[in-house]
């Protein structure tokens, strides 16, 4: 990198728009969506999709709810042409879905594209040419007038060659893109768009689509919004025009640029699922659509089964959705941080089905997009006591008393720290069982029974202590008290019971009771034990033995 001051690069010039309106606006409706996965996304793949894969992908886009789908560049290759023909001839396109094709401003390519679209009920012809100063200078060695002529001549050819399709019943719409719009002088972008519109002669019923692409993202999102608002304010036939966006992500702000440009007046958005596209990718339509949804605006697209959509995407594109990708990534709804886990657990507990969603750190209900709740809290060495308790409760049904959270949290954190990686729920469960439920040394409970007379409970317990069988008798105001007094007659550490709680584990005939008991030894050691049994009384006795064994293990 250059040392400061950096002279190699220059800031992007701002737009002179002193009365800009977009900063004070709020989004209140979804745009028109157009998927360009099968053209822009497909051409960016190291291994492009096969025709069968493209057919599967197209059907998925239709199920999601896209009404405009760019299916390819039929004049560029036979595969692209054949795919377009299969969609039409095999009647795979619903009547309310328009297929869109892309084409350069050359008559033979336009004619070939029109041939590919023959028989389509709804079609969009997307014409483009490069307009930026750098493109004019370095690629075409052309003047502004030359570039305008290319666009207007191309539009004339599209209009002429599409007449037979229109006569045969095709609803033909026209889209024009001044490629690299965001790096084109605004007055020239306006000039060429107006010239193309003059040729096409749109109406309010059949509006022209002017697509204003950020082919390469050079500026901050606010400048992009200024450019769109400037164009919206200067077009002479705005009421006959659909302003379309096509942002790329070179600066990592394609989503923000799109959202601000919608505030600035744009009507339509082109993009791909999960942002697939050249270089850093196109706009991620999934994220923009679900961002709207979290503000109470239905996007008109159905991502209720995001996992299935992600599976088809990854299989057909050979790309992976990053773990931190909004909404769809594996770790999107996952918290490892202890403080975050605690906040999620507490706010989730009071969330009511009929109230607005307000779970901390989770901006959308995962169930709305078919995601599981199970992976929301995951455990590593950075996790807190609440997160461990959440996993044990939601995965395995253990509703640990609050005072026990800190104790089990430290145990699990120590294991995670030693392992150096995340602990899976099954591993957490194994540690919990080993620590609390499966201890058989030095005290083993063999048999326990009680009798009750008046308000006194007597117990008869058979135990093995350090390998020696013992028969203990005791009495108290309940089974726990009687057993504690019986243990007091041995050389085992003396203790008092501080707290007791229990709940059922499972339902119906398979239900068992789980008990948690906290004790304090004569040395001042405070800890919990846990026990499970079909008999609730026996579960509490097992919990005492568990706590006692844990205390003895700490000597």
pLDDT of 186-209, one tens digit each?
999 999 999 999 999 999 999 999
In a domain, 274, yes or no: yes
Predicted confidence at residue 314, as pLDDT, reads 96
Asked if residue 168 and residue 265 are part of one domain, the reply reads: yes
Asked if residue 456 and residue 427 are part of one domain, the reply reads: no
Predicted confidence at residue 391, as pLDDT, reads 87
Predicted confidence at residue 375, as pLDDT, reads 67
Residues 6+ apart with CB under 8 A from 524: none
- Could you give phi then psi for residue 210, rounded to 5 degrees? -100, 110
In a domain, 480, yes or no: yes
Predicted confidence at residue 341, as pLDDT, reads 81
Task: Provide the β-strand partners of residue 33.
Answer: 269
* Mean pLDDT value across residues 64-73: 97
In a domain, 43, yes or no: yes
> Of the residues 437, 462, 496, which one is the last residue of a structural domain?
437
Closest Cα partner for 402 from 359, 345, 352, 362? 345
In a domain, 23, yes or no: no
**Residue-wise pLDDT tens digits, 512-538:** 999 999 999 999 999 999 999 999 999
Domain count, the chain: 3
* Mean pLDDT value across residues 42-71: 96
Integer Cα distance of 268 and 34 in angstroms: 8
Asked if residue 259 and residue 112 are part of one domain, the reply reads: yes
Asked if residue 483 and residue 421 are part of one domain, the reply reads: no
Identify the band that residue 368 occupies on the pLDDT scale cut at 50, 70 and 90.
very high
Predicted confidence at residue 381, as pLDDT, reads 66
Mode of pairing for the β-strands spanning 512-521 and 68-72 = unpaired
Mode of pairing for the β-strands spanning 526-533 and 495-505 = unpaired
Helix (H/G/I), strand (E/B), else coil: 34? strand
Asked if residue 487 and residue 427 are part of one domain, the reply reads: no
Predicted confidence at residue 555, as pLDDT, reads 67
Q: Residue 477 belongs to what domain range? A: 443-553
Half-sphere exposure of 396 (CA within 13 A, CB side): 18
Identify the band that residue 126 occupies on the pLDDT scale cut at 50, 70 and 90.
very high
> Of the residues 408, 437, 466, which one is the last residue of a structural domain?
437
Closest Cα partner for 155 from 183, 127, 120? 127
- Longest CA–CA span in the chain (Å) reads 108
Asked if residue 250 and residue 294 are part of one domain, the reply reads: yes
Residue 388 burial (CB count, 10 A): 29
Asked if residue 305 and residue 350 are part of one domain, the reply reads: no
Q: Which of 55-59, 294-298, 328-332, 490-494 is predicted with the least confidence, judged by mean pLDDT? A: 328-332
> Contact 303/290 with Cβ under 8 angstroms?
yes
Asked if residue 119 and residue 36 are part of one domain, the reply reads: yes
Asked if residue 429 and residue 313 are part of one domain, the reply reads: no
**Residue-wise pLDDT tens digits, 211-239:** 999 999 999 999 999 999 999 999 999 99
Mode of pairing for the β-strands spanning 241-247 and 68-72 = unpaired
- Could you give phi then psi for residue 98, rounded to 5 degrees? -100, 130
> Of the residues 411, 437, 463, which one is the last residue of a structural domain?
437
In a domain, 21, yes or no: no
Q: Answer with the residue of higher pLDDT: 330 or 113.
A: 113
Give the relative orientation of helices 536-553 and 479-487 as an angle to the nearest 10 degrees: 30
CATH number at residue 269: 3.20.20.70
> Contact 228/245 with Cβ under 8 angstroms?
yes
* Mean pLDDT value across residues 274-301: 97
Asked if residue 372 and residue 294 are part of one domain, the reply reads: no
**Residue 394: pLDDT over 90:** no
**Residue 59: pLDDT over 70:** yes
Identify the band that residue 93 occupies on the pLDDT scale cut at 50, 70 and 90.
very high
Asked if residue 347 and residue 202 are part of one domain, the reply reads: no
Half-sphere exposure of 174 (CA within 13 A, CB side): 32
Asked if residue 180 and residue 104 are part of one domain, the reply reads: yes
Taking all residues of the chain, what is their mean pLDDT, rounded to a whole number?
94
CATH number at residue 450: 3.30.160.270
In a domain, 119, yes or no: yes
In a domain, 41, yes or no: yes
């Amino acid at each position: 990198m250059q040392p400061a001051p950096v002279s190699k690069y220059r800031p992007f010039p701002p737009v002179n728009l002193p009365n800009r309106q977009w900063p004070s606006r709020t989004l209140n409706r979804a745009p028109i969506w157009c998927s360009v996965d099968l053209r822009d996304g497909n051409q960016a793949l190291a291994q492009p999709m096969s025709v069968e894969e493209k057919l599967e992908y197209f059907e998925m886009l239709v199920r999601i709810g896209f009404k405009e789908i760019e299916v390819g560049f039929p004049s560029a290759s036979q595969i692209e042409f054949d795919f377009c023909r299969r969609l039409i001839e095999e009647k795979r396109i619903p009547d309310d879905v328009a297929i869109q094709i892309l084409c350069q401003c050359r008559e033979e390519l336009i004619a070939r594209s029109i041939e590919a679209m023959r028989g389509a009920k709804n079609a969009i012809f997307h014409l483009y040419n490069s307009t930026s100063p750098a493109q004019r200078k370095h690629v075409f060695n052309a003047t502004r007038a030359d570039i305008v002529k290319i666009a207007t001549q191309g539009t004339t050819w599209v209009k002429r060659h599409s007449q037979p399709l229109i006569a045969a019943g095709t609803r033909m719409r026209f889209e024009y893109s001044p490629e690299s719009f965001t790096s084109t002088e605004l007055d020239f972008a306006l000039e060429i768009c107006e010239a193309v519109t003059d040729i096409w002669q749109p109406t309010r019923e059949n509006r022209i689509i002017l697509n204003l692409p950020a082919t390469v993202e050079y500026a901050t999102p606010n400048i992009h919004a200024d450019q769109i608002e400037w164009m919206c304010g200067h077009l002479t036939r705005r009421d006959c025009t659909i302003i379309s966006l096509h942002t790329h992500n070179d600066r990592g702000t394609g989503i923000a640029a799109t959202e601000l440009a919608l505030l600035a007046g744009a009507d339509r958005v082109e993009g791909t699922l999960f942002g697939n596209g050249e270089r850093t990718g196109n706009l991620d339509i999934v994220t923009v659509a679900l961002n709207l949804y979290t503000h109470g605006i239905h996007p008109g697209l159905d991502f209720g089964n995001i996992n299935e959509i992600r599976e088809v995407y990854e299989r057909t594109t050979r790309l992976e959705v990053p773990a931190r990708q909004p909404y769809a990534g594996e770790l999107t709804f996952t918290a490892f941080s202890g403080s975050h886990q605690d906040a999620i657990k507490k706010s989730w507990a009071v969330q009511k089905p009929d109230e607005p969603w307000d779970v901390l750190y989770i901006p959308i209900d995962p169930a709305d997009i078919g995601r599981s709740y199970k992976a929301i809290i995951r455990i590593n060495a950075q996790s807190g006591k609440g997160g461990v308790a959440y996993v044990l409760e939601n995965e395995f049904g253990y509703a640990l008393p609050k005072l026990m959270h800190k104790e089990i949290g430290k145990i699990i954190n120590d294991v995670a720290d030693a392992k150096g990686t995340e602990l899976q729920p099954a591993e957490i469960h194994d540690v919990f069982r080993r620590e609390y439920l499966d201890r058989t040394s030095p005290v083993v409970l063999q048999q326990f029974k009680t009798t009750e007379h008046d308000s006194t409970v007597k117990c008869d317990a058979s135990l093995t202590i350090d390998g020696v069988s013992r028969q203990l008798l005791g009495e108290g105001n309940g089974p726990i008290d009687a057993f504690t007094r019986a243990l007091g007659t041995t050389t085992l550490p003396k203790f008092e019971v501080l707290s007791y709680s229990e709940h059922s584990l499972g339902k119906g005939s398979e239900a068992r009771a789980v008990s948690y008991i906290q004790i304090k030894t004569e040395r001042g050691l405070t800890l919990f034990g846990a026990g499970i049994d079909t008999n609730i009384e026996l579960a509490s006795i097992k919990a005492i033995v568990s706590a006692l064994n844990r205390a003895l293990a700490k000597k």
